[in-house]
Amino acid sequence: MAIFENIVSGKTFYHLLFKLTPTNSSLTVPTGYKNPIYRTEDVSSFDPSGLFEIYIRASDFPVPSPGCEGGWIILRMGSTDSAERDSRSKIDAKKALWQSLQAMYESEKGSIEVVIELNPYVQVINPVIPKLELEYCNVFFRQAFGAYIPYTGPLK
């Protein structure tokens, strides 16, 4: 597993490439994970602001997550403020990713590589290697300025 570090304004951000597959992740909300703030249905949905969630089996995730009861990690795509510059194109790009994920889960075939940001709920166990551990069962699609960032390394 390659973890990429980016330092921005003195803060270290940790990113990794991860292949979502129908066997290691799901659109279906695992039992006990319903959150009325985001949804009331049993299947994750795409919000008009670009917000959505995917559920990853903790046992298939490369970063240990000892506190994840139920064995699932929530992978969240953040929303985009409609007042942001180019908000429509940013939301459309997120929707295209969402639709690709839906198609993969419906067909039960394939994989989609995504970039995941481990911050802010990551604990650095060993900064030299680096060895990390999740403090909570939440990670995020890499995002900056309201847009999904589908690559590692410095922002372009």
* Lowest mean pLDDT across 34-38, 46-50, 110-114: 34-38
- State pLDDT tens for residues 64-92: 998 886 788 999 999 999 998 899 999 99
111 CB burial (10 A radius; 0-12, 13-18, 19+) = middle
- State pLDDT tens for residues 8-42: 777 888 899 999 999 999 988 776 666 555 555 66
- Intra-chain end-to-end CA distance of the chain, in Å: 24
pTM of the entire predicted model? 0.88
- The domain spans of the chain are 3-148
3-state secondary structure 93-119: HHHHHHHHHHHHHHHCCCCEEEEEECC
* Lowest mean pLDDT across 11-20, 32-41, 120-129, 137-146: 32-41
Tell me which H or E stretch contains 88: helix 87-107
Q: Taking residues 104-109, what's their average pLDDT?
A: 96
